[in-house]
A and B are shown apart, each in its own frame.
Chain A
Amino acid sequence: MKENARLKKIATQIRIDIVTMLASAGSGHPAGSLGIADILTTLYFMLLHHNPKQPNWPGRDRFLLSAGHLCPALYATLAEAGYFPKKQITTLRSLGSTLQGHSHRGSPRGVEIDAGSLGQGLSVACGMALAAKLNKQKHKIVCLTSDGEHDEGQTWEAVMFAAKYKLDNLIEFVDRNCIQIDGSTEKIMPLEPFEKKYLAFGWSVEKINGNDIMQIIKAYKKALNNKGKPTVIIAKTTPGKGISFMEGDCQWHGKAPTTEEAEKAIRELKLLK
C-alpha cells in the first residue's frame, strides 16, 4: 500500500504538469492525457526497465505511445522521471520546442516513435518485438493505443500479425475511455464486444480499471509471464481524471484549459497530494 501511495502522489504531480503545459500551450488534449496518467506513472516509476540517463540503452523496455495526441502525459512523465528539465514543459507546442504538438522519436529523449496519425503505433511495436526476438533480447515492447484508433484498419492488421508471430514480448494497453473527438466511441463506431474481439484474434486479454494502480501492476505482471501470445490490457479510464469539471466530459478531448480553469484544476489536484 505504501507503493500505491507513492505512485498516486507522482500521478497527481504529472496531472498538475499536464494541466500547466496545456494551459501555456493554449491547445492540446487534456481529457485523454489526464486519463492515462496512472498507467504512465506505474509504468515509468515501477514496471518498466529504463534509465533516464541512458535513453538509448539497448536493454530498456520500449514504451510506444501510439495515440500521439496524448503526448502531454508522456512529456510530463518523462520530465518527472528526469529525461529532460521540467522547466521546459511550458514550451509545449512553441516554435523550436522539443515538445511538439504530437510526439517525435527522440524529441525529447525517451520518446520512441513518431505518432499523431492514428493506428500506426501497434505495427511499429510489432516490428520492434520481432527485432527483439531476432536479437534474443529480453526487453518488452509496451504500446499504448487509444480505443478510438481501433477504428483504423491498420490496428487490426497489427493485431492479426502479433498473434501469428506469437509476440509474447508485446504488451498493449488500450486507453478505453469511451470517447473520441466527435463523441462517444459507441456512437461514432461501436467497438464492443471489445474484449471478445481481441480474444477471437488470439490475444490474452486483461480488463482493468486503468486509474487503479494496483490493478495496472497486477495485469502487467501477469502479462510478463504470458507465453506464446501477445497481451492486451483493456484499461477503462476516466477522461479528465482528477479534475471535477473535466471528468467524463468529451468536450475536453481536444480543448485546452484557460488560465483560470487551469488554476482551478491545479487547486483541486493539490488537495489530492
Chain B
Amino acid sequence: MRTSMKEVKFRRLNRREALKLSPALLLGAFAIPKVRDSLLLRGLKFSDWASGLWFRRGHLARTYSDSEVTPLDRFPFNSYDVDDPGIDLGKWTVAVSGEVQRPGKYTLDQIKALPKVRQNTRHVCVEGWDVIGNFGGARISDFLNLVGATRNARFLFVACADDYYETLDMPSALHPQSLLCYEMYGQPLERGHGAPLRLSLPTKIGYKSAKGLTEIRVTNVLDRRGYWEDQGYSWFCGL
C-alpha cells in the first residue's frame, strides 16, 4: 500500500528538498573577487599547514646513482632577474644575524670546513620540470651549530645578491639533506647556479633553493616570506 499525496503538497515537499542544497551556494563566495582572493590564500595556507604536518624530518628524499644524474649543461636554471648578480667572489662573505650566539660575517672557507655532503637528488620546479643533479655542500644544520643558532628558533631567512629572498621553516632547514651548497657536479658553483653559495633543498620545490646567498638570519618572525611566496605562491612548498 503506497502513501498518496496531493500534488500541491508534493510540490511543497520538492521545494523543501531543493532548499536543503542551499548551503552549496556558499561556494558563490568564490565569485566575489575580494572574498575569493582571501579564500584562496586561506586554502593555500591550509595546504601548507597540512603538508607541514606530514613532513618527516628523518624521511630522506630518494638519492640517485651517478648514471641517473642530468648532465650539468642540461641542468636548467631560472633566475628572477639576472643570471649573474655580479658578486665579487674574492671578497664574498655571508652575513649571519638574528637568534644566534655568534653573529657576523662568515667566509666560504669556514663553510667548507664543515663536514661535506655530496648527494644526487631531484630538483623539482614549481612549473613541473625536474632534473637530478649532483650537489655538494655543508648541512644547514651543521652551519647553524657553528653560528650557535637558538635551538627553538622557528625560521631561517636568507637574502641573495639580486634582492631575491626566501624563508624556511626550521624542521625543513634542519633536514639532513638540506644543504648550504657550494658545489655542483664536483665543481664550484657557476654564477648562473648561484655562486658562490646557494641552498639545495631536496624536500622543497625549486624556488626555495635560493642562489647567490649574502645573508642568513635565524628568526622567529616572518615579515617577508619569500620572493615568490609574497606574490601568491606556496610558502611551505614541501615535496
A, B assembled together: no
